[in-house]
Structure 1
Amino acid sequence: MTSRDKLEAIAANLWWSWNPEALALFEQLNPEAFRASQHNPLAALRTADPALLTDRPFIKAVDKVYEAFTAYLNAPPRITDAPRTAYFCMEYGLHESLPFYAGGLGVLAGDHIKAASDLGLPMTAVGLFLREGYFRQRFEPNGWQIAEYPAMDPADHPMTLVHGPDGYPLVITVHLGRQPFYLRAWKLDVGRVPLYLLDGAFDANPEPLRSLTRRLYQGDRRLRLQQEIILGIGGVRLLRALDLDFETYHLNEGHCAFVALELLRERLAAGEAREAAEAWVRDHCVFTTHTPVMAGHDRFSPELFLEQMETFRHQLGLSETELLAYGRVNPNDSTEAFTMTVLGLKLSRKTNGVSAINSVVARRQWHHLYPDRPLNEVPIGYITNGVHLPTWTVAHARPFLAQHLGDWLEGRFNPDLWRKIDSISDAELWQYRCMLRRRLVEFVNEYVKHQSLPQEAHLSPEVLTIGFARRFATYKRAPLLFEDMERAIQLFSRQDRPIQLIYAGKAHPADDGGKRFIQQIYEITQHPAFRGKVVFVEDYDMHIARMLVSGCDVWLNNPRRPLEASGTSGQKTAIHGGLNLSVFDGWWPEGYNGQNGWAFGREATGLYEDPITQDVEDREALYRVLEYEVIPAFYDRNGEGLPLRWLTRMRQAMRTIPAQFNAVRMVREYVEQMYRPAAMPATVTAAAAQ
């Protein structure tokens, strides 16, 4: 094989998305094209400098990466008895050049299938080809977010149109009401896991319907229902058209729950009795629920649901009442909406939340579905989310980790490996932290110059740097630190102990409250007390996220408890020596040991009676922990200029968090607790349900 052949093989598989050595090769081919395409290897390869492809040192580097690539693909599975699993999700966060993800759910799904690939699991993933993605974020001069939707051309990305045995593109059919809707599929190889993306944007469908698979979480309830029919019913039909069968079907959030109804239809069509068919479906489906707010679960009015499911209902051979019963808590209530989470709960053998607190919240939400059981026996366990460390560890951190930890990627789930942190000198550890902060500050100061949202950025590589980057949903309370403006000004005005804060994130285009929060942050960046010290980085994506989680000293998280399902961004900072500063929500109560970061606010799982009271209490607690703990720990230095208290927390974070909160551990638990049919339910103690 020539070097070009090898590069083409590497570019065709998203393995490169978590291997910086591979990405560095493509960047060398054409740095400008690589950056302009959001680090897309194909864009660089197609415009490569031909002379470089014959350069002997470059050829040698290609050979080394290609050898690692083929060794990865051919490695034996780490779990030899895992069941064949089909994984369904509405969105996947795989890489910044493939923007069909909105936030945590998609990033979690991307990390999940990458870890499944690392483990060699027999997994196939299914989603939608959202060619206009979520959106590109731009701004009006007053800081009001506007959304742009540039369309992706599949020819520019490592995806191939799926063909049938006859050599023609494979086409499957679902019905939206009485209207047939035709779907083809694109295949992405994510390491050893194939990901199939359903696409209805082609000429077999009427023009108005082609947009159904174009955008993520856009449109009214009808469009949302139609997308979920496409994903669930269409996804199973695609797998059957590919002659693929599975022992386990993993439904990641309620968007996918129609998978269970399509499996039921298959069994009934084969002549199985309904009770036996339902039992088979339950035996083969597992369900993950994330949403900690009752209003956030997808519900559809009986009229809309029956209209869109009309043809499918006839295929099932069920009455309207019988079909609606699968998504109702009370099947006899003719006014109750059809709820996708209820469908998932009723037709799955196992259900889990994504953190211990999240499972408590979910059991409380759905206790009325199991009225004869005590709260702690509601059958919703938990597997706490973890992150795919190879994806989120920046390239310029890896030499330090390799030098001091050895093969940290191979042993990343082994606590003994992380204990080697203690053998690193204080000076070397602090140099590592300062190098990563400097890289971030240089990146942000330059990036802000080219934004549509004009700002000054005078960030200093010597100053305590706080990061807040996530979806701008209002419950995440992005402006909390500035609710008491006088107190905030005092924090930012100290010349001897300065701080700086970087924001990033998108609000859903229909969420005016979230957009107002962004506008409020922008106004803060223009305030004389904060100008140049508080910066909003626009068009948040996975590349910006990697820079922020690697370079920030403190990762701030202040949602209203208990509305954070899990949250994973704070898990990504620890390997870089960053420290989490969070309320007791999501994964943090499981990760916090008193020394590996900071927590503030009440240790409570329930909602406050009054959210205003909660906001005031949390804001005051945040000011106290910043003023009396975080800032002094950073700036109190010994005779060698080293912050010893800070370094102690850094060691604790690096030693305790990556080994536990990584995606390999998470996926292993899914195999052991969820995917294997004989697995016992996740244990939920009475104390955990309090």
Structure 2
Amino acid sequence: SMEFGIHESLPIYSGGLGILAGDLLKSASDRGVPLVGLGLLYRESYFTQFISHHGHQQSVYLHNNFSDLPLLPVLNGEGKPLTLQVAFDHQTIAIRVWKVEVGRVQLYLLDTDFSENSDSERKITARLYVEDRDFRLIQEMLLGIGGVKVLEALGIRPVVWHLNESHCAMANFERMRDLLQKGLPLPEALETIRQSTLFTIHTPVAAGTEVFDIPRIERFLKGYLQSLNIPSEEFFRLGQDSQHPDPNAFNMSILSFRTSGYANAVSQLHGEVSRRIWHSLWPDRPVEQVPIGHITNGVHVRTWMASVLKDLLDEYLGMEWRYHLTDIEFWKGISKIPDEVLWKIHYELKFRMIEEVRKILVRQYERNDESPEMIAKARRILNPEVLTLGFARRFTPYKRATLLFRNREWLKFILSREDMPVQIIFAGKAHPADQVGKLLIQTIYQESRTPEFEGKIVFVENYDMALAKILISGVDVWLNLPRRPMEASGTSGMKAAINGVLHCSILDGWWREAYDGTNGWAVGEDRDYYNETEQDMVDSESLYRLLQDELVPLYYRRDERGIPVEWVAKMKRSMESLIPRFSTCRMLEQYVNEYYIKIMKQKK
């Protein structure tokens, strides 16, 4: 995988793709599945986000001192750091190998930032998702080609190869090249690779896939292509789409599909969408028979559940709950927890979250030379007694962070009712090259400073794993408003749900199969749209009416003890119905049973 989100102390991730990969490794350790992770070690953290006085995102890359990170160099037989050479056209790049112990599972990371390489070569692993297309291609070649070489040097011979998105596609190229050099014809070499490879695609639209122009690939892989012992055109056909208007476009997702015998999407709806998108690769089959399955994503429960909630489960379900994560009957025991106990713990988590948000805002305002009055307001902003909505994720247009503001007067009414007020916390980063995403952040930040919304809406800077754990356990409702069907899966709502936070979302990604009418709320309709304006209108009106007429009143409906009994019942229902279905424990079991074992049996 191009990124792994293990812990905030190892900042080599940007978002959901990396967090998912990290959670999968943790579950493999929990279950004793013999799995090895392979990725890149970046010298600079995925950027630290600062928000200016005017709401501009400022991206600051911090230099990682590897000796301060939870990893160790892999040593060779002489006790020296293991280094390998990867030869690209007219240059040989040295790679160094590091190991992270993820419980019982090893994660190996490659980097080039050491003295054996030139200054430009050392920068190859400087940053995750670099904008420069040459560097991006070299990173993917390093991950794929170099990764295969590293496993060989370590004596690791995988029976199953699992590609987490198409950034890893060059691993199949390197494995195929080895077989071709041994004399196998291309069809046999390709089939051998396919029999042992699973490709998981996370991209919901064809336009979002990784594409490089063929001349660029030839420039860097000329020597490798010559060593294939086949015309280079035959290799390039593996990544080309006959329907693409650019004959020089080489699509890494297409290469991954054509060199992998197994493929899956990451939710039921994403599977349906993917089969339609990639139907042209299997034109002789009906759409429903396109060989792309689905395994819905999950989350590592012990990572994302708040400690006080884990203690609560120990008390009422016994410590063995950790070993029953996929047992639906077992989780009905959530009902044993008294309403007042669960509500008290949720209130404590909410209070802690507000305290942390205040600290972050004070630091931000002081850095931006805000007035003493604004800093004083930040110290007492947000009220733990008020219904609190959370919206935190990557800022990109399809996530529709500003959908809430489509009718500002209606939103103002919902937030400002004296007997039933509402407050909203926003957080998230936009890729530094995504100007539209950064503008969305600025828009929300500026809205939060208007008289109508000041004190009711806040934007919290520098969303990372540490802040995510605070928000997903502290808000009352987790909002998700993607433009369907653009959300392949989504996992932040799962993380919130295991903490008793109710999910309110468009019926996209995982929520379409998770929502049952009792465990959260659905925004909009369960259908596709062909007009984005109509979609935004229908979804925003649905959201406003849901908040105004159902969700907000339910929160403020209290018994004589001041407990929202119906709300707490919904929290319990959410936990009991979603924890056993949307953990990486369940996800890993599916991968093992539906793909890994099948591949292993086929190889035997």
Same-fold call, TM > 0.5?
yes
In structure 2, relative to structure 1, the CA distance for the partners of 1:585 and 1:285 (3 Å cut) is: same
Report whether the alignment pairs 1:510 with 2:422.
no
C-alpha contact (below 8 Å) 1:397/1:436 kept by paired residues: no
Query: Residues of 2 paired with 1:292 and 1:176: CA distance?
Result: 32
Equivalent in the alignment of 1:159: 71
Q: Note the alpha carbon deviations across 1:181-238, whole angstroms, 9 max, x for none.
A: 1111111111111111110111222111211111011122222111110101110011
Q: Map 1:58-73; keep pairs closer than 5 Å.
A: none
Task: Give 1:534 shift.
Answer: 1.1
Q: Map 1:605-644; keep pairs closer than 5 Å.
A: 606=528, 608-644=529-565
Q: Map 1:340-489; keep pairs closer than 5 Å.
A: 340-407=252-319, 408-451=321-364, 452=367, 456-457=377-378, 458-489=381-412
Greater relative contact order (CA < 8 Å, ≥ 6 in sequence)? 2
Tell me the SS of whatever aligns to 1:211: helix
Q: Note the alpha carbon deviations across 1:357-384, whole angstroms, 9 max, x for none.
A: 1111111110011111000000000000
Give the letter aligned to residue 180 of structure 1.
T
Task: Give 1:410 shift.
Answer: 2.3
Query: Residues of 1 paired with 2:360 and 2:317: CA distance?
Result: 33
Task: Give 1:422 shift.
Answer: 1.4
Query: Residues of 2 paired with 1:620 and 1:120: CA distance?
Result: 48
State which drifts further: 177-186 or 245-254: 177-186
Give the letter aligned to residue 616 of structure 1.
M
In structure 2, relative to structure 1, the CA distance for the partners of 1:292 and 1:332 (3 Å cut) is: closer
Query: Residues of 2 paired with 1:547 and 1:161: CA distance?
Result: 32
Q: Map 1:65-214; keep pairs closer than 5 Å.
A: 89-214=1-126
Q: 2:202 aligns with which of 290, 308, 324?
A: 290
Equivalent in the alignment of 1:270: 182
C-alpha contact (below 8 Å) 1:284/1:677 kept by paired residues: no
Tell me the SS of whatever aligns to 2:82: coil
Q: Note the alpha carbon deviations across 1:294-323, whole angstroms, 9 max, x for none.
A: 111001111112112212112222322112
Give the letter aligned to residue 253 of structure 1.
E
Provide the aligned length of Structure 1 versus Structure 2. 591
Structure 1 gap segments, 5+ residues each? 1-88, 682-690
Report whether the alignment pairs 1:337 with 2:258.
no
Q: 2:239 aligns with which of 311, 323, 327?
A: 327
Give the letter aligned to residue 388 of structure 2.
T
Give the letter aligned to residue 594 of structure 2.
Q
State which drifts further: 207-216 or 641-650: 641-650
Give the letter aligned to residue 446 of structure 1.
K
Equivalent in the alignment of 1:17: none
C-alpha contact (below 8 Å) 2:195/2:599 kept by paired residues: no
User: What is the CA RMSD across the aligned residues, in angstroms?
Assistant: 1.7
State which drifts further: 308-317 or 258-267: 308-317
Q: Note the alpha carbon deviations across 1:45-76, whole angstroms, 9 max, x for none.
A: xxxxxxxxxxxxxxxxxxxxxxxxxxxxxxxx
Task: Give 1:581 shift.
Answer: 0.2
Equivalent in the alignment of 1:677: 598
What's the TM-score, normalizing by structure 2? 0.95
Tell me the SS of whatever aligns to 2:92: strand
Equivalent in the alignment of 2:578: 657
State which drifts further: 145-154 or 432-441: 432-441
In structure 2, relative to structure 1, the CA distance for the partners of 1:176 and 1:142 (3 Å cut) is: farther
Query: Residues of 2 paired with 1:320 and 1:240: CA distance?
Result: 25
Tell me the SS of whatever aligns to 1:96: coil
Task: Give 1:435 shift.
Answer: 2.0
Report whether the alignment pairs 1:523 with 2:436.
no
Query: Residues of 1 paired with 2:541 and 2:91: CA distance?
Result: 56
Give the letter aligned to residue 50 of structure 2.
R
Give the letter aligned to residue 377 of structure 1.
Q
Query: Residues of 2 paired with 1:104 and 1:449: CA distance?
Result: 28
State which drifts further: 536-545 or 269-278: 269-278
C-alpha contact (below 8 Å) 2:472/2:478 kept by paired residues: yes
Query: Residues of 1 paired with 2:269 and 2:219: CA distance?
Result: 37
Task: Give 1:160 shift.
Answer: 1.3
Following TM superposition, the consecutive aligned residue runs of length 4 or more in structure 1 with deviations greater than 4 angstroms are: 331-334, 452-456, 678-681
Equivalent in the alignment of 1:602: 525
Q: Note the alpha carbon deviations across 1:252-297, whole angstroms, 9 max, x for none.
A: 0000011111111121222323222111100111100010121110
Task: Give 1:617 shift.
Answer: 1.4
Query: Residues of 2 paired with 1:389 and 1:527: CA distance?
Result: 38
In structure 2, relative to structure 1, the CA distance for the partners of 1:385 and 1:426 (3 Å cut) is: same
Query: Residues of 2 paired with 1:678 and 1:293: CA distance?
Result: 28
Tell me the SS of whatever aligns to 1:316: coil
Query: Residues of 2 paired with 1:261 and 1:169: CA distance?
Result: 27
Give the letter aligned to residue 638 of structure 1.
D
Q: 1:586 aligns with which of 509, 513, 517?
A: 509
Report whether the alignment pairs 1:667 with 2:588.
yes
Give the letter aligned to residue 283 of structure 1.
Q
Report whether the alignment pairs 1:217 with 2:129.
yes
Query: Residues of 2 paired with 1:589 and 1:579: CA distance?
Result: 15
In structure 2, relative to structure 1, the CA distance for the partners of 1:647 and 1:210 (3 Å cut) is: same
Task: Give 1:630 shift.
Answer: 0.7
C-alpha contact (below 8 Å) 1:283/1:677 kept by paired residues: no
In structure 2, relative to structure 1, the CA distance for the partners of 1:176 and 1:331 (3 Å cut) is: farther
Give the letter aligned to residue 502 of structure 1.
I
* Identity fraction in percent: 44
Query: Residues of 1 paired with 2:514 and 2:412: CA distance?
Result: 31
C-alpha contact (below 8 Å) 2:265/2:294 kept by paired residues: yes
C-alpha contact (below 8 Å) 1:492/1:529 kept by paired residues: no
In structure 2, relative to structure 1, the CA distance for the partners of 1:430 and 1:331 (3 Å cut) is: closer
In structure 2, relative to structure 1, the CA distance for the partners of 1:610 and 1:259 (3 Å cut) is: same
Q: Note the alpha carbon deviations across 1:603-629, whole angstroms, 9 max, x for none.
A: 02x4x2221221121111110111111
Query: Residues of 2 paired with 1:476 and 1:652: CA distance?
Result: 27
Task: Give 1:678 shift.
Answer: 5.0
Q: Map 1:504-583; keep pairs closer than 5 Å.
A: 504-583=427-506
C-alpha contact (below 8 Å) 2:196/2:599 kept by paired residues: no
Query: Residues of 2 paired with 1:111 and 1:289: CA distance?
Result: 17
Give the letter aligned to residue 126 of structure 1.
L
C-alpha contact (below 8 Å) 2:9/2:70 kept by paired residues: no
Report whether the alignment pairs 1:648 with 2:561.
no
Equivalent in the alignment of 1:45: none
Give the letter aligned to residue 276 of structure 2.
R
Give the letter aligned to residue 579 of structure 1.
L
Query: Residues of 2 paired with 1:229 and 1:539: CA distance?
Result: 30
Give the letter aligned to residue 586 of structure 1.
G
Query: Residues of 2 paired with 1:128 and 1:496: CA distance?
Result: 52
